[in-house]
């Protein structure tokens, strides 16, 4: 595991847009947010250009990402927004030589493709945490903005998730489970299946979240993961936030039934209640760093090392 370096005031932050475009006022908001934290935003000219799907053509989005990876004066790559597009850049990324120094990738949702690549190919630890356009629009509460600041600037070396709900007997029996977290957006992880960059779950806790997916689609993705052997290899499954996905007939989702079914079907621990994903609260989840999971008084308690260093 390669540690990333804690932030210092004045640090350059390379801003990239590997997926959907952000509007000009959102880019400006992201810029102002980084200045508020006394950081130097580096948002390249022409980062976003009209395109029918993405923030720019594949080659241009990759060129900006490559420049951020290879820049000698910055240690951070922070994504503007998610959407769709990162996985189209992976074959180009695979041709790059592994950098000597690790950098910190920050983002969620579509950025899951990049998290998995950097972890599996280069051994980096990354941070599943709010995108810059969200922070720039003041959609993160002061409490959780402070938490993110303390993690990035090294005042906190661990992230703690209390009150995880064990959904099956295997989860209720967990004691001193040492592992690491991998995963991210469920749909994006599914898109890696059958590729050379398929998510690796060996000796890891698999964290998943999603937005706008109905119950049958979540069930189908889990079934594909099971048939592909992903659940057999991992230490357990942790559910983040699943939002949207209401059934047309009832205007309510059926997630509870889906997760209950999988709790009964799986012989690995299944937990629910990680405040991470697309809901209002998007707590940071360090990927590919040591973590410890315990169940005390019927509640799961997860402590994850941030992966930072001085």
Residue in 12, 112, 15 with CA at minimum distance from that of residue 55: 15
CA distance 249 to 284: 35
CA distance 174 to 66: 41
Q: Is 209 a catalytic residue?
A: yes
- pLDDT of amino acid 13: 98
Catalytic residue among 147, 209, 213, 235: 209
- pLDDT of amino acid 214: 98
Catalytic residue among 74, 109, 179, 191: 109
CA distance 59 to 298: 50
- pLDDT of amino acid 53: 97
What single-letter DSSP state applies at residue 111?
G
Do 293 and 179 contact (CB within 8 A), yes or no?
Answer: yes
- pLDDT of amino acid 279: 96
Q: How many residues does the chain have?
A: 310
Do 115 and 257 contact (CB within 8 A), yes or no?
Answer: no
CA distance 296 to 24: 48
Q: Which helix (H) or strand (E) holds 36?
A: helix 24-36
Give the model confidence (pLDDT) of 164-184 as tens digits: 999 999 999 999 999 999 999
Can you count the helices (H) and strands (E) in the chain? Answer: 11, 15
- pLDDT of amino acid 108: 98
In the chain, the domains with their CATH numbers are 4-152 (3.40.50.10740), 158-309 (3.50.30.60)
CA distance 81 to 88: 16
Q: Is 109 a catalytic residue?
A: yes
Q: Is 116 a catalytic residue?
A: no
CA distance 34 to 28: 10
Give the model confidence (pLDDT) of 100-154 as tens digits: 999 999 999 999 999 999 999 999 999 999 999 999 999 999 999 999 999 999 9
Do 74 and 13 contact (CB within 8 A), yes or no?
Answer: yes
- pLDDT of amino acid 163: 95
pLDDT in tens, the chain (310 residues): 789 999 999 999 999 999 999 999 999 999 999 999 999 999 999 999 999 999 999 999 999 999 999 999 999 999 999 999 999 999 999 999 999 999 999 999 999 999 999 999 999 999 999 999 999 999 999 999 999 999 999 999 999 999 999 999 999 999 999 999 999 999 999 999 999 999 999 999 999 999 999 999 999 999 999 999 999 999 999 999 999 999 999 999 999 999 999 999 999 999 999 999 999 999 999 999 999 999 999 999 999 999 999 9
Q: Is 138 left (phi over 0), alpha (psi -120 to 50) or beta?
A: left
- Model confidence pTM above 0.95: yes
| Strands 308-309, 4-5: pairing kind | parallel
Location of structure tokens 């990402």: 65
Rounded to 10 deg, the angle between the 255-265 and 215-227 helix axes is 20
- pLDDT of amino acid 2: 82
CA distance 232 to 229: 5
């Amino acid at each position: 595991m390669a540690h990333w370096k804690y932030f210092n005031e004045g640090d350059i932050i390379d801003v990239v847009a590997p997926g959907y475009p952000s509007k000009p006022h959102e880019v400006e908001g992201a810029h102002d947010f980084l200045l508020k934290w006394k950081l130097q935003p580096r948002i390249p000219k022409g980062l976003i250009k009209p395109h029918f799907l993405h923030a720019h053509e594949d080659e241009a989005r990759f060129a900006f990402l490559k420049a951020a990876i290879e820049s000698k004066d910055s240690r951070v790559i922070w994504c503007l927004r998610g959407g769709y597009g990162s996985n189209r850049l992976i074959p180009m990324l695979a041709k790059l030589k592994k950098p000597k120094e690790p950098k910190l990738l920050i983002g969620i949702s579509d950025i899951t493709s990049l998290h998995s690549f950097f972890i599996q190919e280069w051994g980096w630890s990354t941070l599943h945490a709010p995108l810059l356009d969200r922070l720039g629009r003041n959609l993160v509460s002061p409490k959780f903005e402070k938490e993110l600041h303390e993690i990035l600037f090294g005042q906190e070396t661990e992230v703690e998730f209390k009150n995880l709900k064990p959904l099956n007997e295997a989860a209720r029996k967990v004691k001193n489970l040492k592992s690491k977290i991998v995963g991210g957006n469920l749909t994006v992880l599914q898109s890696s299946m059958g590729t050379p960059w398929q998510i690796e779950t060996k000796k890891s806790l698999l964290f998943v979240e999603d937005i706008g997916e109905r119950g049958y689609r979540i069930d189908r993705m889990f079934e594909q993961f099971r048939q592909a052997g992903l659940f057999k290899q991992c230490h357990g499954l942790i559910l983040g936030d699943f939002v949207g996905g209401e059934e047309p007939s009832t205007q309510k989702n059926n997630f509870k039934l889906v997760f209950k079914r999988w709790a009964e079907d799986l012989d690995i621990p299944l937990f629910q209640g990680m405040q991470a994903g697309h809901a209002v609260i998007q707590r940071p989840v360090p990927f590919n760093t040591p973590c410890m999971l315990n169940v005390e008084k019927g509640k799961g308690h997860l402590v994850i090392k941030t992966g930072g260093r001085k």
